[in-house]
């Protein structure tokens, strides 16, 4: 399985460069490792392995389906393209407009996701994402890409639904289940945290921890822990705890449920 990135929101905006860079670095490493056993896409026109594999990035604005998913996709693509160019990383950035049942069945969009080295779910409304992706061609391709080592990241609602369970104003819903034992609390601030936690405690399954993430800040999974990157902080509330372990840029967190 590839790394997972969870982000607190405010994605793609100035100040978010550190987390975008962390996702890019993980995708570059994964693409380089997979190039040791190349597919046809990794070969140049002469049939030889390209010296530097092109990192394939797909922006998935499903959570923005009720708003402007096309705009969210363009903004995300521009942010990743710009950071990659500034760092000399060769990328191909596409947008997969999977916004309903029809587009989730589209074989071209499914193929795009299946070939990705990095898939990024933008923010929006968490309640619509599992219903569109679960069991669809697009959802299966996302899981297949992750299974072969691609990075899967999500911001705000896109991060919330990567967990087993996600909360919404209307109550809890099953998530996509790529992350276990926690619920993501994006757009975090300490003033609202207690109200959020009290509400979550009433509806969340027993045994969940809460991961609060400031905007323009996220965590990226590693073999043993999670790396914090961004201008804010990550707050880990172990199950039943009212006091967080706080991590800031460059810190490592162990999210134990």
pLDDT < 50 positions in the chain:
48-49, 257
Task: Specify the pLDDT at position 174.
Answer: 94
Give CA–CA dist 184/163, Å, rounded: 8
The total of other beta-carbon atoms located within 10 Å of residue 108's CB is 9
Spell out the SS3 assignment of 70-111.
HHHHHHHHHHHHHHHHHCCCCEEEEECCCCCHHHHCCHHHHH
Give CA–CA dist 10/123, Å, rounded: 9
Task: Specify the pLDDT at position 252.
Answer: 96
Quick: pLDDT tens for 48-90. Answer: 445 568 999 999 999 999 999 999 999 999 999 999 999 999 9
Strand 91-95 versus strand 151-155 pairing type = unpaired
Task: Specify the pLDDT at position 120.
Answer: 98
Give CA–CA dist 235/96, Å, rounded: 31
Nearest to 113 by CA among 55, 59, 73: 59
Phi, psi of 178 (to 5 degrees): -85, -20
Task: Specify the pLDDT at position 46.
Answer: 52
Task: Specify the pLDDT at position 35.
Answer: 77
C-beta contacts of 45-51 below 8 A and 24+ residues apart: none
Cα–Cα distance list, 143 to 9, 10, 44, 97, 116 (Å):
23, 25, 27, 17, 11
- Domains of the chain, earliest start first: 4-253 (3.40.50.880)
Task: Specify the pLDDT at position 189.
Answer: 76
- How long is the chain? 257
């Amino acid at each position: 399985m590839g790394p997972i990135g969870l982000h607190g929101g405010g994605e793609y905006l100035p100040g978010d460069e550190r987390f975008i860079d962390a996702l890019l670095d993980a995708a570059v490493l994964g693409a380089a490792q997979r190039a040791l056993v190349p597919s046809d896409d990794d070969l140049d026109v002469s049939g030889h392995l390209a010296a530097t594999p092109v990192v394939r990035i797909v922006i998935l604005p499903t959570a923005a389906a009720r708003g402007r998913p096309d705009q969210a996709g363009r903004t995300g693509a521009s942010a990743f393209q710009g950071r990659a160019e500034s760092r000399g990383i060769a990328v191909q950035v596409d947008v997969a407009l999977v916004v309903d049942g029809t587009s989730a069945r589209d074989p071209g969009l499914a193929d795009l996701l299946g070939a990705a080295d990095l898939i990024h779910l933008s923010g929006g409304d968490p309640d619509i994402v599992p219903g569109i992706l679960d069991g669809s061609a697009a959802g299966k391709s996302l899981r297949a890409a992750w299974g072969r080592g691609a990075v899967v990241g999500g911001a705000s609602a896109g991060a919330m639904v990567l967990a087993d369970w996600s909360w919404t104003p209307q109550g809890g819903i099953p998530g996509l289940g790529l992350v276990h034992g926690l619920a993501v609390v994006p757009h975090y601030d300490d003033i609202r945290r207690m109200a959020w936690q009290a509400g979550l405690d009433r509806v969340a399954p027993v045994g969940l921890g809460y991961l609060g993430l400031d905007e323009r800040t996220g965590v990226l999974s590693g073999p043993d822990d999670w790396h914090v990157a961004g201008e804010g902080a990550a707050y880990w509330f172990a199950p039943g705890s009212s006091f967080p372990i706080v991590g800031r840029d460059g810190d490592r967190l162990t999210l134990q449920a």
